[in-house]
Structure 1
């Protein structure tokens, strides 16, 4: 089931971020950075984001376990009206359709708020990039993304929400 995240979900979301980073970005991002990811710091970030409504966050929960989440925000830019900020599914639940359910849910959410074009930034060569391409994403931008003290090649996937949602 997909639902809006609550403050008490912060710890589960933080744990998903850390575990998923270790799975998805090992070999792409500096090993020391990945090894030193701290659940506690992400708990604080997620609590602040939820309290201040910096992002809209949806979790996928099944059997009282949060297995993934997606977050996004509205933008005030001409080319894009919305952005996916975070999108993580625990590695043991990937390839089970959870990502697609979360992705469709946030796309519907944004479409209902008159968003037509969406962007999502990720690392070039990341394991998840094929998912974005299968779901209508097209690489439209490249830039360096600062992670820790280093910069990495990043790509921006653009999505036309009307073609995804069928509206």
Structure 2
């Protein structure tokens, strides 16, 4: 048994409780990540006891940073890992994510509020949206969504005009 205050070598295997403590992530989250990220393959001994290799711990640290630090979704991190875009360079991980389709009930009716419409139109007096403190990734995503909304609005307007002409 190791004495308190001593540390393992960098090449030593770690238990789930050690990794959980080092990363400040609950053990159940580490087990959940194992199910979501097949690249994580800790050794399992008798009784299902897990032993994480140093490369497993590094990968867990990267997953933690992408999810909690960079704001990626589980699917986004899965895509990055699948595409081999996870490495030590944080700028290399900044790729555009395809957003998931939201679940919209069949009876949902979108009713835009006036402030949102003013923002889309770029009108004077439109609400000012504070983007300070947001990462470049989030800013880019917001700008992309705003452009898509403007484009959708134009398509709807053209469709309404065409419909009116046909009547």
Greater relative contact order, per chain length (Cα 8 Å cut-off, separation 6+) = 1
Whether the TM-score (by the shorter chain) exceeds 0.5 is no
For the pair shown, which has the larger CA radius of gyration, 1 or 2?
A: 2
The structure where helix makes up a greater share of residues is 2
The structure where strand makes up a greater share of residues is 1
TM-score category, normalised to shorter length: under 0.3
Q: Name the TM-score, length of structure 1 as normaliser.
A: 0.22
